């Protein structure tokens, strides 16, 4: 069993980890242990009780000055208890002061995994041993309850956490901060690993020592954003890919977020994570409840690769629901970088014909097919097919594409509205604009108020009408600006702090309705590329456009950072033209293909302008990707070298879970005269087995797994800038 309870001592065991908390004799829920799997010992003996001075004492301490929540590790710290560290809850229970005092009330252990109404959450498979622990806290003075939820996934070494607030008083309560999780760690000197960036440069890894005080990672953009990601790691100083302790925290939420880590006066480290509270408030009326987004936490004592595997396995098995999760995804061609807005029927058909000839599976029609939409200044919201521009109906285009043996997909941006649109002229109040003020524009567009039921119904009606009109098997769902000056005409002024969260709930409700109506739809998330690449979106879309930057070399860093939390089968990656449209770099066609195979794989260029040599290479790339698809989709992913630390080359590997095959890819990022030999080592093989090793489909030798993992193999000398190679090792082919 994953959960044991002994006299208000709660111990959670997964395959390799133990998590423990205790309701003490004063009624406070203390955190006692999280780390390598151990026994059911009460680890509260590790809490060092002393009179710290200038640390508040709760009434239950009965004059004992050594008992202060200001240094005691807790499960759910709140403001107003004499604990001056970062907290999880700030609530005005009616006094006008944010003062709350939570004590233990009750608990339940339930079979299966809890669900969260209107929010993404991990789920248990039918044959999986998953349990839920629910611990209820109540305010010492008021009928205000906090339900702490823990989902325990033993095999994947992950624990999920969420919180439900319940107002059982006869008055309204104002919530100004609510975090989903807290972890108190009895140590300092840790590093925080986070993933910063910008548009076209998302999720670059940065490792920073935590100092005494507060380190904060936040998005105030109404989306998880290009600039930060709702996933962080706390790691020991010596932790690397293969050794050392580390803790991961992933927020399943697509809106603004806040992550704070604080090293306190006694050198303990606390991390809290949840909804961005910079512009948040929530009126919790009598009898109502509020549910937080879920956090997925995991621990590894054997390095970062193991932590990533925990997340990859959990997200693939217990988060992504799409019928495509276990199916081979289509290798697609997207027309955007081939034509931008300037497409015609003949151009699209020519691209489709070339795609069919090359063995691709799908044509995706990007922006510009609807309303008056020849630039990004107009048309958003008018989701009616522009048949004059298209040269036919959408149904006729899809049928023509299908007749070539290709599936058909389409681009939408349903959350946005252009001021030059029929929709805006009819419903200006549907846009988020503060009354009496000029709007804050982004990409020359405004944001639809996704908190309104009439807006949500309009979006669903137009989406369904388009979907029903043609054989559409894929949607790319885009969002091309951040939220600013957020306002809803449907809420009073004192409740505008609810809009950002209600926006996300509205988005999720539309996505849920779309997938319920079209369960076989392949939905790809996008927000100017990777501006909403988060675990919350993976609950609805099994893949996300990783970045608008399609340059293969820039993608090495972007995809490297993404891999720490997210399975690479969720990373949408395409081969594009050179010179690249974002940075004008020239990269070999072979290298562009190898980099795109790190993710879902596809093309984004004018296929008709490719040389015969490039077309032959594309056919081979498609064949290789399809041949090894299950390895790329379900194998364990290893970061062999880091593009941040290794200037010579970047390498990554997929290894089958049974260890019988692996594909190791290398991209050279520097060249030298009279180069020295470069050795590279495989991971995840069977030491005693012999492997046949191919380099770019030519055999280079046969070696044991022990030799390949410990001795390694010599890399070829690159023959041009940004050259690349792929090694395939297999027991089966011997």
- Residue 356 in 3-state DSSP? helix
* Cα dihedral value 153, 154, 156, 158, nearest 10: 50
> Is 614 a catalytic site residue?
yes
Instruction: Find the catalytic residue in 604, 614, 653, 661.
Output: 614
Could you report how far apart the first and last alpha carbons of the chain are, in Å?
A: 42
- Residue 631 in 3-state DSSP? helix
3-class SS letters over 504-546: HHHHHHHHHHHHHHCCCCEEEECECCECCCCHHHHCCCCEEEC
* Cα dihedral value 181, 186, 190, 193, nearest 10: -10
Which tokens hold the place of 453?
A: 């039921």
User: How many Å apart are CA 460 and CA 444, to the nearest integer?
Assistant: 24
User: How many Å apart are CA 460 and CA 292, to the nearest integer?
Assistant: 25
Query: Strand 158-167 to strand 289-291: parallel, antiparallel, or no bridges (unpaired)?
Result: antiparallel
Answer yes or no: are the C-beta atoms of 228 and 509 closer than 8 Å. no
User: How many Å apart are CA 412 and CA 420, to the nearest integer?
Assistant: 17
Which tokens hold the place of 557?
A: 């860093």
Which tokens hold the place of 312?
A: 């990859």
User: How many Å apart are CA 136 and CA 400, to the nearest integer?
Assistant: 59
> Token match 């002994």: residue?
6
The conformational region for residue 571 under phi > 0 = left, psi -120 to 50 = alpha, else beta, is beta
User: How many Å apart are CA 312 and CA 309, to the nearest integer?
Assistant: 5
User: How many Å apart are CA 174 and CA 118, to the nearest integer?
Assistant: 21
User: How many Å apart are CA 1 and CA 470, to the nearest integer?
Assistant: 50
- Non-local (6+) Cβ contacts of 582 within 8 A are 200, 548, 549, 550, 551, 554
Number of other residues whose CB lies within 10 A of the CB of residue 632: 21
User: How many Å apart are CA 341 and CA 349, to the nearest integer?
Assistant: 15
User: How many Å apart are CA 280 and CA 500, to the nearest integer?
Assistant: 8
User: How many Å apart are CA 423 and CA 427, to the nearest integer?
Assistant: 6
DSSP 181-228: EEEEES---PEEEEEEEETTEEEEEEEEEPPBEEEEEEE-SSSS-SS-
Which tokens hold the place of 583?
A: 């940075």
User: How many Å apart are CA 582 and CA 265, to the nearest integer?
Assistant: 47
- The pair phi, psi for residue 288, each rounded to 5°, is -95, 165
Instruction: Find the catalytic residue in 157, 202, 534, 554.
Output: 534
Active-site positions? 534, 614
């Amino acid at each position: 069993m994953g959960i044991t309870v002994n006299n208000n001592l709660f111990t959670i065991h997964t395959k390799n980890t133990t998590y423990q908390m205790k309701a003490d004799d004063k009624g406070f829920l203390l955190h006692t242990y999280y780390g390598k799997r151990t026994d059911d010992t009460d680890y509260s003996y590790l809490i060092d009780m002393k009179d710290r001075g200038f640390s508040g004492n709760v009434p239950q301490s009965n004059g004992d000055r050594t008992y202060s929540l200001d240094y005691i590790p807790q499960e759910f710290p709140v403001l107003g208890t004499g604990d001056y560290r970062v907290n999880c809850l700030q609530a005005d229970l009616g006094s006008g002061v944010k003062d709350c005092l939570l004590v233990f009330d009750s608990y339940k252990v339930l079979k299966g995994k809890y669900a969260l109404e209107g929010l993404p959450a991990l789920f248990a498979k039918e044959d999986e041993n998953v349990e839920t622990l629910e611990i209820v806290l109540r305010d010492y003075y008021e009928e205000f309850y906090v339900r702490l939820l823990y989902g325990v996934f033993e095999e994947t070494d992950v624990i999920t956490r969420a919180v439900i607030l319940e107002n059982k008083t006869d008055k309204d309560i104002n919530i100004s901060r609510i975090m989903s999780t807290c972890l108190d760690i009895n140590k300092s000197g840790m590093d925080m690993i986070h993933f910063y960036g910008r548009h076209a440069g998302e999720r670059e890894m940065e490792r920073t020592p935590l100092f005494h005080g507060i380190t904060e990672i936040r998005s105030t953009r109404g989306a998880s954003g290009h600039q930060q990601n709702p996933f962080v790691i706390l790691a020991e100083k010596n932790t690397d890919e293969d050794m050392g302790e580390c803790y991961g925290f992933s927020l399943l939420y697509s809106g603004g977020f806040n992550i704070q880590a604080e090293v306190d006066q006694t050198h303990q480290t606390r991390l809290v994570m949840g909804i961005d509270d910079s512009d948040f408030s929530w009126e919790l009326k009598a009898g109502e409840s509020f549910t937080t987004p879920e956090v997925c936490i995991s621990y590894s004592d054997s390095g970062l690769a193991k932590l990533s595997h925990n997340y990859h396995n959990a997200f693939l098995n217990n988060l992504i629901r799409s019928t495509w999760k276990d199916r081979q995804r289509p290798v697609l061609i997207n027309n955007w970088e081939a034509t931008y807005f300037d497409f015609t029927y003949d151009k699209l058909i020519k691209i489709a014909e070339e795609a069919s000839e090359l063995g691709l599976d799908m044509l995706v029609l990007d922006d510009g097919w609807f309303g008056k939409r020849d630039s990004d200044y107009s048309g958003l919201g008018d989701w009616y097919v522009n048949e004059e521009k298209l040269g036919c109906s959408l149904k006729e285009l899809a049928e023509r594409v299908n007749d070539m043996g290709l599936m058909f997909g389409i681009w939408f941006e349903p959350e946005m509205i252009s001021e030059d649109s029929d929709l805006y002229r009819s419903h200006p109040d549907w846009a988020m604009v503060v009354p009496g003020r000029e709007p804050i524009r982004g990409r020359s567009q405004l944001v639809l108020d996704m908190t309104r039921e009439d807006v949500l119904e309009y979006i669903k009606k137009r989406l369904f009408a388009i979907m029903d009109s043609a054989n559409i098997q894929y949607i790319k769902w885009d969002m091309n600006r951040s939220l600013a000056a957020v306002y809803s005409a449907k809420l009073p002024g004192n409740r505008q702090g609810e809009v950002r969260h209600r926006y996300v709930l509205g988005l999720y409700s539309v996505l849920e309705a779309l997938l319920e109506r079209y369960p076989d739809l392949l939905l790809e998330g996008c927000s100017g590329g990777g501006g909403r690449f988060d675990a919350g979106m993976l609950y609805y879309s099994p893949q996300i456009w990783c970045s608008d930057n399609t340059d293969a070399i820039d993608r090495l860093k972007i995809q490297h950072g993404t891999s720490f939390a997210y399975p690479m089968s969720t990373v949408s990656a395409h081969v594009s033209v050179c010179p690249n449209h974002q940075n004008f770099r020239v990269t070999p066609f072979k290298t562009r293909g190898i980099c795109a195979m790190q993710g879902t794989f596809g093309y984004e260029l004018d296929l008709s302008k490719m040389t015969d040599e490039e077309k032959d290479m594309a056919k081979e790339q498609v064949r290789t990707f399809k041949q090894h698809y299950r390895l790329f989709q379900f194998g364990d992913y290893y970061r062999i070298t880091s593009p941040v630390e290794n200037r010579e080359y970047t390498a990554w590997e997929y290894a089958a879970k049974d260890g019988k095959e692996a594909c190791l890819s290398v991209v050279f990022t520097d060249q030298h005269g009279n180069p020295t030999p470069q050795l590279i080592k495989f991971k995840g093989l069977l030491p005693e087995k012999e492997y046949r090793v191919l380099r770019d489909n030519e055999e280079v030798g046969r070696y044991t797994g022990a030799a390949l993992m410990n001795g390694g193999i010599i890399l070829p000398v690159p023959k041009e800038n940004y050259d690349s190679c792929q090694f395939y090792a297999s027991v089966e082919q011997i």
